[in-house]
Structure 1
Amino acid sequence: MSVVDNPDLMPISDALSAILQMAPKPTETEVVYLEHAVGRVLAESPIAAVDVPPADNSSMDGYAINSCSINEGGKTTFAVSQRVPAGRAPQPLVSGTAARIFTGAEIPQGADAIVIQENAQFDGEKVVMDGPVQVGQNIRAKGQDIKVGQVFLAKGVRLQAADVGVLASTGLDSIAVFRPIKVAIISTGDELVSPGESLAPGQIYNSNRFVLASLLTQMGCVPIDIGKVADTAEAVEEALEQAAEQADCIISTGGVSVGEEDHVKQSVERLGKLDVWRLKIKPGKPLAFGSVKETPFFGLPGNPASALITFCLLARPFLIRMQGAGYALPLAFNVPADFEHLKSGNRQEYMRARMEQGRIAVFHNQSSGILSSASWSNGLVVIPPGSVVHKGDLVSFIPFSELLG
């Protein structure tokens, strides 16, 4: 039986599992320079062509010596035989001498330890230091970060700034990544007006379009705005067909409930299929997932807070998979509640919340139409079905940093 035919609301964990299994894998790749690689998804597992670092080098300013030359029971005086700045190849260390060396400089052959300058006394010609000295102290070994021939990043990694730096450290100036996916945005509702236009009675400004376009851009997707669609079956079907031709995935807002003016669900079923509909969550119950002519489709609720939350919890993981990246459940933290929630419900609730000074407060109005609640918040509190919360109870908190971008 299709999940759509099941009259019961679907738990979000079941819905997410089903949706992720249907995410198509990317096939198209391109090569980009590292300057443009951050946020992109690796299409290959790079192999190091060099050791990082390429040679033993000093982690401190000081003096390179052979540890066997030090008097462990007292002071030892060394002549300074050479000066080794970073970027210059050293000469082999003259036996019984020290080399003045600086951070990042290559260790001279014959030296096996660095004595930092704070632990040595230099008179202009000779340097005096105390023992004992450990072999390898203050030396960064060749290949201690990455060894030649090592696979150092995995295919499917979404590149962060540090990852790009690691790529650069191995000498790469470009890398193969998956092509960005195109996501069509459809806004349904005769009541919607674009910002900048005048409002007539009964109209509201379309905020969902800008929220979704911003979220998609942060994810590295390419948003395609199909525009506002009239509340007719013909207009909705025309918009869905246009979106299926232009995009890799379709996201609509509104029109997925059961009202007389809600045409999206029926149009999707005529043009493709619906796999998931109506979830056991609050807000966001009227969510739809399926396909339009083989193009994946998400129908998000029209209320802006619901649209944001369902995108973060369900559409975003799917799009991450479509981009070729691995998906892991967002990190959640148990934090004491600074609020009470004494009315239990039968749906899993996601409350807009803010963590301050180690406690969680929730926005005073949790209506699904209050988008400013999400702007005020820095995460979501998860209230399981049948649960109540008293002040001081530990609640599960997901920071927006785990859900956005």
Structure 2
Amino acid sequence: MTDATHGDPHGSDRSLAAALHDLVTAIEPITGYRRVALRAALGQILAEPLSTPVSVPAHDNSAVDGYALRHADAGHVRLGIVGTAAAGHPYPGEIGPGECVRIMTGAVVPPDADAVVMQERVTIDGDVITPTQWPAAGNNIRRAGEDLQAGDRILDPGRRLTAADLGVIASTGRAELEVRRPLRVAFFSTGDELRGVGEPLGPGDIYDSNRYSLYGMLTNLGVEVLDLGVVKDEPDTLAGALAQAAHEADAIVTSGGVSVGDTDHLPTLLERHGELRFRSIAMKPGRPVTVGRFGTAWYFGLPGNPVSVMTTFTQVATPALRRLAGEAPRPARRLSVTTRSALGKKPGRQDFQRGRLVEGADGTLEVVSAGHQGSGVLRSMSEADCFIVLPVERGDVEAGEIVEVEPFTAPLVV
């Protein structure tokens, strides 16, 4: 079925921005939550607001190894050492005029002390010290609540939790969290010519690389993956695979079979059994992209060329899947840099060329082309570390011009 609110799926190419706006507006995040131990929350999407019940740190403590003293004693040449404070072992007494306490990093600062002198800034004679450089009031003291005040909001729902987040949460004493259940994504390749790695190739056969790229990108998104293998270019077989995927997963990602050839059956199947929102985007590589729903599952039909698969997954499927998983919006990070390479470009489509970031003579970042930009040259993705993003209306680019780049992202859990 076709809904007039999202335009004619057979009409002219949609802009990438319009396609993404349509998707983000239409997609409702999956439901379902679970409570997990803190370590198990790494890479999961937070489902509750987190505030801290305690201040961090809980008390004034020393930032260095040295001597806790009263700044009011700055006129005294010599101070007597009356005790020791170590982390977990506070000094129990008081500090009087002309006195100090030997203190270790992290130890509670005695209530009468208001500065810590580093041990490198004193001379020692038995149980007496002589500061060679007096600290200012407050020097070398980490104040209670300097990191977090009791009641502070730490993290909001929708955040995919990183290693640093786990440390912050642990500092507040929290042992368990509520997170969203993982998004489940089924994926498969289409094509009679595809063979699995390790199989012999016959005439006209090629190895299926797309499922391995998709597996890696889906895994980096933190979703649960269901690999349905290679599906033949037969309508009934494809319909069966889509039905199975929709039954077992929240979303479906396929590669191949979405263009306008005689064996490109997937857009027709989506129209017949689901909802077709659009089937082409004004971008290069990756113009033929079929997006809609099959049953209750969102469907992303990506082109068959390997670079087109990775580009459209990054630019179209990734933000949509993050929204579906309940992750807070996170715009792609883009930088303006100088290109060392001349770049060929025809106006009419937004271009995502592969590039490598390098350091210029003055230390600033520049970009060079990663070589042949054909949509079947997967090596260019392996050798690149960014997309060079060229606007729809842009033509050829000369070396030395400013361009926008989008660095490839690392796995989310680091």
2:116 aligned residue (114, 117, 140): 114
Hey, what does 1:385 align to over in structure 2?
392
Q: Secondary structure at the residue paired with 1:401?
A: coil
1:55 paired to 2:65: no
- Structure 1: gaps spanning 5 or more residues: none
1:210 paired to 2:209: no
Distance 1:229 1:159, change over 3 A: same
Hey, what does 2:362 align to over in structure 1?
none
1:226-281 Cα offsets, whole Å, 9 max, x none, are 22111111111111111000001011111111111000000111111111220000
Hey, what does 2:339 align to over in structure 1?
337
State the TM-score, normalizing by the size of structure 1: 0.96
Q: Is the 8 A contact 1:3 1:277 kept in 2?
A: no
1:167 paired to 2:174: no
1:16 paired to 2:23: no
What is the deviation of 1:403? 9.1
Distance 1:332 1:236, change over 3 A: same
Distance 2:73 2:92 in 1: 18
Distance 1:23 1:308, change over 3 A: same
1:77 paired to 2:78: yes
Matched letter for residue 12 of structure 1: L
Matched letter for residue 293 of structure 1: G
Between stretches 359-368 and 156-165, larger displacement belongs to 359-368
- Structure 2: gaps spanning 5 or more residues: 360-364
- Matches for 1:366-381 after TM superposition, within 5 Å: 366-381=373-388
1:53-109 Cα offsets, whole Å, 9 max, x none, are 0111001111111111221xxx52110011111111221332121001011111112
State the TM-score, normalizing by the size of structure 2: 0.94
Q: Is the 8 A contact 1:92 1:110 kept in 2?
A: no
Matched letter for residue 320 of structure 1: R
What is the deviation of 1:342? 4.3
1:142-176 Cα offsets, whole Å, 9 max, x none, are 11111112221111111111111001111112211
Matched letter for residue 61 of structure 2: N
Hey, what does 2:93 align to over in structure 1?
92
Q: Is the 8 A contact 1:330 1:402 kept in 2?
A: no
Distance 1:403 1:101 in 2: 42
Distance 1:125 1:79 in 2: 6
Q: CA RMSD in A?
A: 1.6
* Count of equivalent residues: 402
Q: Secondary structure at the residue paired with 2:239?
A: helix
Matched letter for residue 264 of structure 2: D
What is the deviation of 1:139? 0.7
Identity %: 36
Between stretches 26-35 and 112-121, larger displacement belongs to 26-35
Q: Secondary structure at the residue paired with 1:4?
A: coil
Hey, what does 1:64 align to over in structure 2?
68
2:36 aligned residue (32, 38, 45): 32
2:318 aligned residue (316, 319, 326): 316
What is the deviation of 1:328? 2.1
Distance 1:233 1:189 in 2: 12
